[in-house]
Structure 1
Amino acid sequence: MRFPILIRLVAGIAFAAGSAAATAQDYPNKPLRWVVPYPPGGGSDVIARTIGGQLSRQVGQPVIIENKPGAGTIIGAESVARSAPDGYTIMSGDNGTFVFNGALYKKLPYDPQKDFVPVTLIARFPLLLVANPGAGFSNAKDWLEKMKRAPGQYNYASVGAGSPHHLAMEMIKQKTGTFMVHIPYRGAGPAVQDVLAGQVPMMVLDLATAMPHIKTGKLTALAVLSGKRLPLQPDVPTLKEIGLGDEEIYAWQGVVLPEGTSREVVTRLNTELTKAIAAPEVAKKLTDFGVEPLSGSPEQMADYIKTETARWHALIKQRKLGLD
């Protein structure tokens, strides 16, 4: 009596395994949904649409960009974490999604470590410390001296509380022993406008957003937060050059899939994304935009997230930062 049941069970397992293998082998055979947890038009959106267009051409399927902004990327991340692990819902997230939020919020509706499978890093935004030319800072060392002489008398803007731009300035404050008042905004647009208008004297800003204003003289670049000087800003010193040690701070992006996605699908998507990022027209567009293209294995992305988590969670805890 038990043998027919056992045969059906084994047959069912074999069928499921065969279906999974076929799915991985044929992947992708329908449109891909790429969730961007930010509004349209921003840097994250530009990166996804640039790479997604090339990815679509390679795999012969539409790549549909779906913007799901809100709550510091939490809304988009939660939706992807709850999606079917079939490889057809992917997401690009940043430091906040995979690192900062886990320390800034007491409770998240997703687990940055357990609910996603890393696929590859795709890009990073070089960051700069910029100021309104009328703020009275002649260079980075002059800025630092004034910050030390007048604790609490200067404000700085950020594109949002808990953003890479905000936490970069918190790291600078920790390293320099200075105190500046944080003025958070909802996005780069309003923050930059107030710095340009002189309502707030300074902020940390990504190269892509800052460059047009630096070129017109409406913003002054005081320091770059990269490990070495930027080709587009060769005269601007690094943090190390102004005495802040070996810190390198970037806003970075990576692609993930929901936990439970098969290894074969992860590998295929990694291969296709790596190829798309390396395409000359894609690399040029990203570089011209002010972004450094990246790629790598899923394991390298996972290791990078672990390293970043240890680094930034320590800072967030030390400075007693939180968003709830």
Structure 2
Amino acid sequence: MTYLHGANSARRRFISASLCTGLMVAIGGAHAATDYPTKPATLLVGFSAGGAVDQVARLVGQGLGKDLGQSFVIENRAGATGTIAAEAVARAKPDGYTLLLGTQSTMVVAPGMYPKLRFNPVKDFVPVSLVASVPLVLVVHPSLPLHTVQDVIKYAREKNGALNYASSGPGGPQHVAAELFSTMAGVQMVHVPYKGEANAIADVLGNQVPLMFSNLPTLLPYIRSGKLRAIAVSSLERAPSAPNIPTVSESGLKGFEALTWFGLYAPAGTPADIVQKLEHGVKVVAADPDTRAKMTAQGMKVEASDSASFKQYMASESVKWGDLVRKSGIKPE
């Protein structure tokens, strides 16, 4: 009996100590999360410095740093449609100090292109906030007798599958926008991929390739100078920076939408209060007049969504573009 009493006492002491330890860990974890950030964080970008993704990341990084009181250092890890950077973030410690500025190319198109992708965009990330989006615009060389979406569709049918279009490379927004156009219009066109947007635009300007989709801000100077003719924008609503250009949707392909979008992601398992701090930080960034002016000047629509709505949006985008990639047989170079 004495032995059993001693064993029970020892057991009670062990349970009590375990509970205290667990409580201290929980309190310590909560305290650490509440104090976030206590050191500089890294914001990874899967594309080269100077491009649109990099520019958005720098604006977001500067704004988050100002709001949260720590530096957010931009690190470019370009390659494989942004998946190199995404994989690094997916494997990072979920403490809010390694983040990703991701795009639709990386997070919803690449999974269909790369069968052995070493991360899952849904399971391995917490979508923090949709940051901004940019419409694309369908342009043709002005020597062509094409002025409307219906003209382009008719021309593609007359060419019987021999109409070429340029893009910055497989799986990019220009490529998938053109494939969506072909699918919805019921026509066939030939993809001519380039290593980068600038090279593709150069050949459309030179009439080596007759048409392309590309980001509206990039093409606006050529449209305004008459070097390219705008047919339609890819957003559901007309772009404020080019209100005279109709949408593809209003021009006959109802519901057509293809955007370049940018979102902030954290590794799965990141504490909810850290996600909330980052989400709030993006909203502060989006509300800053100087930041909004810079994004708007680049033709971007500032979004700053909450985490839940961004997660829903990403889910719908994954279905839409995943189906298109499979049906169109889009493959990496």
Q: Calculate the TM-score normalised by the size of structure 1.
A: 0.95
- Of 81, 84, 90, 1:81 maps to 90
Q: Report the alpha carbon displacement of residue 2 of structure 1 after superposing the two structures with TM.
A: 4.1
- 1:214 counterpart = 2:223: yes
- 8 Å contact from structure 1 (residues 126, 207) kept in 2: yes
Task: Please point out which of 320, 324, 330 is paired with 1:315.
Answer: 324
Q: Cα distance, 1:16 vs. partner? A: 2.0
Distance in 2 (alpha carbons) for counterparts of 1:53 and 1:223: 34
Please state if 1:48 is matched with 2:57. Answer: yes
Q: Where does residue 198 of structure 1 map in the other structure?
A: 207
Deviations 1:93-131 (A, max 9, x none): 111222112222212111111000110100001111112
Q: How does 1:122-271 map to 2 (within 5 A)?
A: 122-271=131-280
Whole-Å separation in 1 of the counterparts to 2:90 and 2:37: 20
Say which is worse superposed, 203-212 or 72-81, in terms of deviation. Answer: 203-212
Structure 2 residue 107 is the aligned partner of structure 1 residue 108:
no
Task: Structure 1: state its 5+ residue gaps.
Answer: none
Q: Give the letter aligned to residue 188 of structure 1.
A: E
> TM-score if structure 2 supplies the norm length?
0.92
What is the distance in 2 between the residues matched to 1:12 and 1:101?
44
Q: CA deviation at 1:322?
A: 3.2
1:241-287 deviation digits (Å, cap 9, x = unpaired): 32111222211111110011000100111011111111111111100
| Paired residues, number | 324
Provide the identity percentage: 36
Structure 2 SS opposite 1:160: coil
135 and 9 in structure 1: CA distance in 2 versus 1, 3 angstrom threshold: farther
Partner of 2:46: 37
Query: What displacement does 1:7 show?
Result: 4.1
Deviation for aligned residue 1:5 = 4.3
For residue 14 of structure 1, the aligned residue among 23, 28, 34 is: 23
CA shift, 1:151, in A, is 2.0
Task: For 2:332 and 2:17, locate their aligned partners in 1 and report how far apart those are by CA, in whole Å.
Answer: 53
What SS class does the counterpart of residue 222 from structure 1 fall into? Answer: strand
Which amino acid counterpart does residue 294 of structure 2 have in structure 1?
Answer: K
**1: CA distance between counterparts of 2:274 and 2:94?**
10
**Which moves more between the two structures, 225-234 or 162-171?**
225-234
> Which deviates the most, 221-230 or 260-269?
221-230
Q: What's the RMSD between the two structures over aligned residues?
A: 1.6
What's the counterpart of residue 301 of structure 2? 292
Q: Distance in 2 between matches of 1:38 and 1:12?
A: 44
Whether the 8 Å CA contact 1:81–1:116 is kept in 2: the answer is: yes
Counterpart residue type for residue 103 of structure 2? D
* Aligned equivalent of 1:67: 76
For 2:72 and 2:322, the matched residues in 1 are separated by: 34
Larger Rg computed on CA atoms: 2
Q: 1:209 and 1:90 mapped to 2: Cα distance?
A: 27
Task: Check whether the contact 1:126–1:224 (CA below 8 A) recurs between aligned residues.
Answer: yes
